[in-house]
Amino acid sequence: MDAPVKTAKKPKAEAPSGVKIKKVGIIGAGQMGNGIAHVIALAGYDVAMNDLKKENVEKAIQIIDKNMTRQVSKGIITQADKDPALSRITYAANFEALGDCDMVIEAATEDEAVKRRIFIDLCPKLKKGAILASNTSSISITRLASTTDRAEDFIGMHFMNPVPVMELVELIRGIATEDETFATARAFVDSLGKKTAVSEDFPAFIVNRILLPMINEAVYTLYEGVGTVEAIDKAMKLGAHHPMGPLELADFIGLDTCLSVMQVLYEGLSDSKYRPCPLLVKYVEAGWLGRKTQRGFYDYRGEKPVPTR
Q: What residues act catalytically?
A: 137, 158, 170, 208
C-alpha–C-alpha distance, residues 270 and 236, integer Å: 28
* Residues in CB range of 248: below 8 A, 6 or more apart: 233, 297, 298, 305
**What's the Cα-to-Cα distance from 106 to each of 79, 119, 149, 191, 249, rounded to whole Å?**
29, 9, 15, 19, 24
Give CA angle at 95 (89, 97), nearest 5°.
50
